[in-house]
Structure 1
C-alpha cells in the first residue's frame, strides 16, 4: 500500500497556490491552512510535510506502545530521561520512514489524486534535498544512541534496514504492513533492553502482539486505498484478505489480545491489568462491528481509534504495577 493514509500524508486540499474559496475541491491529502502553513517559514514547510510533522497520528501509534513497554520494563513509572529519548526516537524514525517512503514512491504519488501534491512528487523538493534531509534525520537519530545502552544500540541499528525497505515491500509482497508493524513497534523491544539489559519472552510477546495489531488496523485502512493500489500494481494485505477482511483482521486482533494477556501473566501483573485488557478486547470487537469491506470509508475512523488502544496499553501497565490491590 502506498503510504497515503490521512496521517501519513499531508492534509486535505492544499493545492499549492489554490484559493480555497474559488478552487474546485480536490482529494489531495495536503492542507493549505494547517499549522505548518501558518507558523513555519515557507522554506521549511515541505520538509515538515515530508516527515509528516503535520500528521502526528502515526507518531503516536509508534510512540504509545513503546511508552507502554517502558512502563512494563520499569515495573511502574519509567525515568523522565527515557521518556524523552524514546519520544524523540519515535518522532525521528517515523520521519525517516516517511521520507524514504516518499522518495521511493515519488513516481507513484503523482498519479494519485490524494498524493500528487506531496512535496517530492509535486516538485516542491528535489530528490537531492529529500536525500539530504533523510541523512540529517538519521544523523540526529544516531546521536540518540549515546543515550542508550549497548544492547539497545545494536537493536536500533537493526531497525534501520526495516525502515528503509518497507516502502519497497509493497512491490513484491502482500504483507508490507507486517514489515511496517515490526518497524513501528521496535521501540517496545528497546524499552526492555535499555531498562533491564535483557529481552524476556514476555517483552517479545508484547511486541509480536503489537505487530499483529498493526497489521489489523493497517489492513482496515488499506481497503480505502485498494482501488489505487490495484491501478498502480502495488500489493497490500487488503488484496490478500479480499472479502474475508473482517475474519482476517478479527483473527489478528484476537491473537493480539491473547499475547498481551499471556505477557501480562509472565510479567506478574496484578488483576487491574487484565481488566484493562478486557477493555482493549472490547475495543477490538467494536472495530469489527464498524468495519465493512463494502464500506471502506469507515476505515479512517477505525484507524484513528487505535490511538485509544495505545493509551489503554499504558494504562494497563500502570494499573497492573502501581495501583493498590
Structure 2
C-alpha cells in the first residue's frame, strides 16, 4: 500500500525552519558582519553616530546576513548533504523548498533596501547595489576560485564605505580604504579557520577554500593576515590620533590572535571552529577600544 504523505508543517514549525535557514540560531555571522560596520560608524561620527543611522545599519546588517545565509544554502544545496556539519540545514534536509527560500531571500533584501532608503541618502543606495551583488555571488565562488574567502572579505567590508557616506555624506578614501583593507584581511583569516574545520569534507566533494589553497601554511597565512589587519587598524588610529584605549583594544585583540594560533596547532577541526568563533571577541575588543577612545 502507498505510504501516507507527511503532514504539512504547522505555521510555527515553518517559522522555526525559516529561523534556522536564516541562521538566527547561530548569530556569530551577525556579530562578525556588524563589528566592522560599527567601527566605521563610530570613526565617521567621531563618537556615537546619529541614532536613526545606527538603527538602520544594525537592522540592515541582521537582514542582509540572513539573506546571505539563505542564498548560501540555496547555492550549496547539492553539497551540504555530504558535509556532516551542514547536512541538517533545512534546504539540504529537504525541509524547505528552494522556491520558498528564494522568496524569503527576496523579502529580506527588499526590507533591507527599504531601511536604507529611509535614510534619504541616494549615494548610500548606490553603494548598496554592489553590496547585494557581491553577497549574492559569494556562495558560488567556491566552485571557481581558489580563495573564495576573498569575495567574502569584500562582501563583509562593504558596509564600511556605506557607513561613512551615511554619516559624513562622503567616503574619505584613505581612512575608509585602510579600514576596508584591515577588515578584508581579518575576514579571510577567520574564515580560513572556518574552512580548516571543513577541509576534509571540502576535498571529498571538490569545492575550493583558502584552507585547501594555503595547505600546510594555513596557520601561518592566518596569523600573517591577522597581524596585517591589526597593523592597518593601528595605522587608522595613528592617522586619527586616537587616545590610548584604542591601542589597548588592539593589544587585547592581539592576545586573541595568539591564543587562536596556539590552540589550532594540531589543526583539530572542532578546535579550528572554536578559533573561528572567538573572532567575535577580536571584533568586540577593537570596538570597545574605539568606543573608549572616542568618548
TM-score (norm 1): 0.83
| Partner residue of 2:19 out of 48, 61, 83 | 48
The equivalent residue for 2:64 is 93
1:179 and 2:142 correspond? no
| Partner residue of 1:315 out of 268, 271, 288 | 288
Which stretch has the larger CA shift, 272-281 or 52-61? 272-281
1:211, distance to aligned residue in structure 2 (A): 1.1
C-alpha distance in structure 2 between counterparts of 1:272 and 1:119, whole Å: 44
1:142 and 2:142 correspond? no
Unaligned runs of 5+ in 2: 1-5
Answer yes or no: is the 8 Å Cα contact 1:89–1:141 preserved in 2.
yes
C-alpha distance in structure 2 between counterparts of 1:233 and 1:186, whole Å: 29
1:279, distance to aligned residue in structure 2 (A): 1.8
1:293, distance to aligned residue in structure 2 (A): 5.1
| Partner residue of 2:220 out of 247, 251, 255 | 247
Which stretch has the larger CA shift, 66-75 or 293-302? 293-302
| Partner residue of 2:100 out of 119, 129, 144 | 129
1:294, distance to aligned residue in structure 2 (A): 3.5
Unaligned runs of 5+ in 1: 1-16, 18-39
CA deviations on 1:213-245 (whole Å, 9 max, x unpaired) are 111111112111001101111000001111111
| Bigger helix fraction | 2
How large is the RMSD of aligned CA atoms in angstroms? Answer: 1.6
The equivalent residue for 1:69 is 40
1:281, distance to aligned residue in structure 2 (A): 2.0
The equivalent residue for 1:102 is 73
CA deviations on 1:275-322 (whole Å, 9 max, x unpaired) are 222222222122212222532321122111111111112112222222
Superposed structure 1 runs of 4+ greater than 6 Å apart: none
Answer yes or no: is the 8 Å Cα contact 2:147–2:209 preserved in 1.
yes
C-alpha distance in structure 2 between counterparts of 1:272 and 1:142, whole Å: 35
C-alpha distance in structure 2 between counterparts of 1:220 and 1:133, whole Å: 29
Answer yes or no: is the 8 Å Cα contact 1:71–1:78 preserved in 2.
yes
Answer yes or no: is the 8 Å Cα contact 1:209–1:257 preserved in 2.
yes
Answer yes or no: is the 8 Å Cα contact 1:269–1:321 preserved in 2.
yes
| Partner residue of 2:168 out of 182, 196, 208 | 196
The equivalent residue for 2:3 is none
1:55, distance to aligned residue in structure 2 (A): 1.0
Aligned with 2:12: secondary structure?
A: coil
CA deviations on 1:132-191 (whole Å, 9 max, x unpaired) are 111111111110122232221111111011111111100011211111121123212211
The equivalent residue for 1:165 is 137
1:121, distance to aligned residue in structure 2 (A): 2.1
Answer yes or no: is the 8 Å Cα contact 2:245–2:290 preserved in 1.
no
* Equivalent pairs, count: 284
Answer yes or no: is the 8 Å Cα contact 2:161–2:176 preserved in 1.
yes
C-alpha distance in structure 2 between counterparts of 1:232 and 1:43, whole Å: 30
